């Protein structure tokens, strides 16, 4: 029976002892728990990867607005801008930001997405993983490995902190998604397990305190635009970590800080739409207009 691992220190120790990558250990563990072969487990992960790619493809081609009418055409707007003038940071930046908007807007349209770790943060992992894989010609097997790594990161964080804005704010949703992306990308770039842990820590500790204050109580404002921002945040963390820049605070302690910050955060800033952006003058006008229309 594979030993239960619920901290990053334990994960690092067991991977070092067994001389395995994070994804190798996680794959074996999940396959054993599910009582299926590792090949069967990889096929399940591939289904998620394919669904991510389908969401991106659908989102890139749609301008359908959400039911509220507040969001839905930002991806099209961004694509048209890039067609006329490329992004300052180049083609990969263009892909990540458009893929992120494409995916999160598919979520608004009730299309099929992969919650990674949540629906409101569903675009961060796919946009980074798929865009980088296309640009660097990363094999499907390596993409699956990276997605397994991202999943293992999310699993361990969720052992200590519920991945829900209502519990710990958006730091536990988009924040964790950005950290998962940073770890997955660091692996794609050839990072060691230690570098992956540093990428996760660097991404996560710089998003502590991120509130969840959705306008009208919907996963639209500021959620939609937050996804491309934090996808790029993940890339920054991975670039630093792959250069052997380390987090001075160990990853498990960063997650402890995440948990503590969530507990200290006011309930009015945890998905209740009772404060922050949700109670600005314009947000209240939007709320009044939306609910009177229903």
* Cα distances (Å, whole numbers) of residue 82 to 79, 91, 133, 157: 5, 9, 20, 36
Mean pLDDT confidence for 247-264:
98
pLDDT of residue 225: 98
Mean pLDDT confidence for 57-79:
96
pLDDT of residue 290: 85
3-class DSSP state for residue 247? Answer: coil
Q: Produce one character per residue of 145-170: b if its CB has 16 or more CB atoms within 10 Å, e if not.
A: bbbbbbbbbbbbbbeebebbbebbbb
CATH of 8-293, one of 2.40.50, 1.10.287, 1.10.4100, 1.10.1760: 1.10.4100
Encode pLDDT of 133-168 as tens digits: 999 999 999 999 999 999 999 999 999 999 999 999
Could you tell me the residue ranges of all domains in the chain? 8-293
Mean pLDDT confidence for 173-188:
98
Give pTM, 2 decimals. Answer: 0.97
pLDDT of residue 1: 58
Mean pLDDT confidence for 76-83:
98
């Amino acid at each position: 029976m594979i030993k239960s691992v619920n901290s990053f220190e334990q994960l690092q120790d067991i991977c070092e002892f067994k001389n395995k990558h994070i994804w190798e250990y996680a794959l074996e563990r999940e396959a054993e728990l599910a009582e299926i072969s590792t090949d069967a487990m990889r096929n399940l992960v591939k289904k998620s990867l394919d669904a991510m790619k389908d969401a991106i493809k659908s989102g890139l081609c749609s301008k359908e607005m959400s039911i509220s009418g507040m969001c839905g055409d930002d991806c099209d707007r961004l694509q048209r801008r890039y067609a006329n003038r490329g992004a300052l940071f180049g083609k990969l930046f263009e892909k990540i930001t458009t893929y992120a908007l494409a995916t999160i807007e598919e979520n608004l349209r009730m299309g099929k997405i992969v919650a990674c770790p949540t629906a409101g943060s569903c675009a961060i992992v796919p946009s980074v993983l798929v865009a980088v894989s296309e640009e660097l010609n990363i094999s499907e097997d390596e993409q699956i490995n990276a997605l397994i790594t991202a999943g293992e990161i999310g699993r361990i964080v969720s052992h200590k902190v519920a991945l829900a804005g209502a519990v710990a704010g958006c730091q536990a949703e988009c924040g964790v998604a950005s950290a998962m992306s940073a770890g997955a990308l660091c692996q794609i770039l050839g990072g060691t397990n230690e570098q992956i842990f540093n990428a996760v820590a660097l991404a996560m500790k710089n998003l502590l305190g991120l509130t969840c204050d959705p306008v009208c109580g919907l996963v639209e404002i500021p959620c939609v635009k937050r996804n491309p921002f934090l996808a790029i945040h993940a890339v920054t963390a991975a670039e630093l970590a792959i250069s052997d820049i380390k987090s001075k605070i160990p990853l498990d302690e960063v997650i402890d800080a995440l948990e503590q910050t969530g507990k200290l955060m006011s309930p009015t800033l945890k998905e209740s739409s009772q404060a922050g952006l949700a109670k600005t003058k314009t947000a209240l006008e939007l709320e009044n207009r939306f609910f009177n229309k229903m």
